[in-house]
Amino acid sequence: LGRIEFCENGGKMNTDFIDNSGGVNSSDLEVNIKILMTDVMGGKTHNMDINARNKLLEKMTDDVAKLVLRNNYQQAQAISLAELQARENLQIQDDFMKDLEREKGLNRALEGLPEEEKIEQRLRAGKGLTRPELAVLVSYAKISFTQDLMASDIPESVDMEDWIINYFPGDLRKKYIKEIKRHRLAREIVATSMANSLVNRMGPTFLKEKMNKTGSSAAEIAKAYIIVRDAYNLRALWDQVEALDNKVPAEVQLKAMREMALLSEHAISWFLTRLGHDLDIGREIKDFGEGIKNLSSNLSKLLTNDLKASVNMRIAAGQRDGLPKALAEQIALMPVLSSACDIIRIALEQKTDLLKTARTYFEVGEEFHMDWLRQQARYLPSDDHWQAEAIRGLVDQLFGAQAALTVRILIDTKDKTNKGKTPAETWMDDHAHKVMQLTPLFADLRRAGTIELPMLIIAEQRLRNLAGV
């Protein structure tokens, strides 16, 4: 409680169990390595005795230390990311604590977490949870997620082998890959590693939120997370940002990590709601990974002028913060690439060229002010859980309307000679009367002093009507 009070008065510190987690982590790793070594020594494939084992263990000391430090670095980073949005996420975190009380037996008083009255006081004061309190939520989230994964069949899936392999030091991965895959605690290692990764990257409340909103299981969310991580090549970007330690302010790194988390959240939700129970990790990574790579390398030729200007402003801001140019460019493109999954799916289903589909999608966005509408929705105040849900739902529906209009245009112009015009331009000409009917609506929205939720809902409905859905 003293640590919480210290943080409430402007201090920065974690809990004892976070500060001392390196010892627990190294002990777990040591036990699992020794179990592996026992299996190796008992087998007929390798000639290893106790002396050879001890020499190998000693040789791996530094590698084990690096693995432990990396795990603890990422856990501290997860708390910092949660702290970055602690104020605006307090209601979500309170909902998560209520879920934990019902389902996992959380005792707020015992764990030093604020009760309802204290939550209300902080909401009124515009304050969020402190680092020690967030640390408790991170720990509970990891334990809960691990239990959910252990209750599923995902830990033994062939797609999960990377988790058990990468858990061990490099020397073991090189020599004993077969034994690692057969480790007697493989399921537990896979589930724990996956839970740690998702909670560290996406935050403590993410899994429960997605389960509640999409009806998806923990295993399905884990699959979607892996697909998004690999399709967008996020591990390489995480490494680049983390390599900037002591070169740029920590706040700059956290902002970049938050941009990647926002992209991941949108894309994970997309896979869960669009493909749901039919997720195939290998297939989706192949189809969407190739498409995202293609789009990323061609975006400069595809973006409309307004989007280019917005991206260039973001690149400049990133460079002013100290990000290397290449990384600043990649981070700046995150909001644009959040639409990549829609674009790729449309191209696959309509059997149209990917870049042509992307160009049409972005032209639709510019013509009908889609980015502006979504931005206005995100700016709306969300005083309670239901209003926040309505806003998030509207943003998703606006993405859906943009995709639906893109499909409509591609279908309607498929057999037409465009005479030097893009499919979007041809369709706008052919449907000029219907398009013009929306002009007063957008003019009224732009002139309005205050944008309210019903106004944006009407705009989304009119756009869907135009798409014929």
What CA–CA distance (Å, rounded) separates 175 from 269?
Answer: 39
Q: In angstroms, what is the C-alpha Rg of the chain?
A: 25
Q: How many residues does the chain have?
A: 469
pLDDT tens by residue, 326-339: 999 999 999 999 99
pLDDT tens by residue, 107-135: 999 999 999 999 999 988 889 999 999 99
| Mean pLDDT estimate for the chain | 92
What CA–CA distance (Å, rounded) separates 431 from 326?
Answer: 41
Nearest to 368 by CA among 411, 414, 431: 431
- Band of the pLDDT at 1, cuts 50, 70, 90? low
What is the pLDDT at residue 77? 96
Nearest to 195 by CA among 159, 158, 151, 145: 145
Q: Which residue's entry shows tokens 């969310």?
A: 221
Give percent above pLDDT 70 in the chain. Answer: 99
Most confident among 357-361, 382-386, 442-446, 447-451 (mean pLDDT): 357-361
pLDDT tens by residue, 47-105: 788 998 999 999 999 999 999 999 999 999 999 999 999 988 999 999 999 999 999 99
Are the beta carbons of 401 and 410 closer than 8 angstroms?
no
Mean pLDDT, residues 261-286 taken together: 92
Q: What is this structure's pTM?
A: 0.92
- Band of the pLDDT at 469, cuts 50, 70, 90? low
Kindly report which listed range (36-45, 178-187, 289-298) carries the lowest average pLDDT score. Answer: 36-45
CA max distance for the chain: 84
Look at 196 and 415; give whichever has higher pLDDT.
Answer: 196
The secondary structure of the chain, three-state, reads CHHHHHHHCCCCCCCHHHHCHHHHHHHHHHHHHHHHHHHHHHCCCCCCCHHHHHHHHHHCHHHHHHHHHHHHHHHHHHHHHHHHCCCCCHHHHHHHHHHHHHHCCCCHHHHCCCCHHHHHHHHHHCCCCCHHHHHHHHHHHHHHHHHHHHCCCHHHCHHHHHHHHHHCCHHHHHHCHHHHHCCCCHHHHHHHHHHHHHHHHHCCCHHHHHHHHHCCCHHHHHHHHHHHHHHCCHHHHHHHHHCCCCCCCHHHHHHHHHHHHHHHHHHHHHHHHHCHHHCCHHHHHHHHHHHHHHHHHHHHHHCCHHHHHHHHHHHHHHHHCCCCHHHHHHHHCHHHHCCHHHHHHHHHHHCCCHHHHHHHHHHHHHHCCHHHHHHHHHHCCCCCHHHHHHHHHHHHHHHHHHHHHHHHHHHHCCCCCCCCCCHHHHHHHHCHHHHHCCHHHHHHHHHCCCCCHHHHHHHHHHHHHHHCC
- Band of the pLDDT at 419, cuts 50, 70, 90? confident
Does 42 score more than 90 pLDDT?
A: no
Nearby residues of 299 by Cβ (< 8 Å), 6 or more positions away: 311, 333, 336
Mean pLDDT, residues 382-399 taken together: 86
What CA–CA distance (Å, rounded) separates 173 from 36?
Answer: 11
What is the pLDDT at residue 238? 98
Does 440 score more than 80 pLDDT?
A: yes
Most confident among 276-285, 340-349, 448-457 (mean pLDDT): 340-349
What CA–CA distance (Å, rounded) separates 458 from 375?
Answer: 16
Does 155 score more than 90 pLDDT?
A: yes
Residue 87, both tokens: 């104020």
Say what angle helices 250-274 and 61-84 make with each other, to 10 degrees. Answer: 80
Does 287 score more than 70 pLDDT?
A: yes
Mean pLDDT, residues 174-202 taken together: 95
What is the pLDDT at residue 14? 82
Residue 208, both tokens: 């429960």
- Band of the pLDDT at 289, cuts 50, 70, 90? very high
What is the pLDDT at residue 285? 96
What CA–CA distance (Å, rounded) separates 439 from 443?
Answer: 6
Amino acid at 177: I
What CA–CA distance (Å, rounded) separates 431 from 440?
Answer: 16
- Other C-beta atoms within 10 Å of 195: how many? 23
Are the beta carbons of 280 and 351 closer than 8 angstroms?
no
Give percent above pLDDT 90 in the chain. Answer: 79
Amino acid at 374: R
What is the pLDDT at residue 44? 65
What CA–CA distance (Å, rounded) separates 275 from 227?
Answer: 12
Q: Which residue's entry shows tokens 């369709």?
A: 427
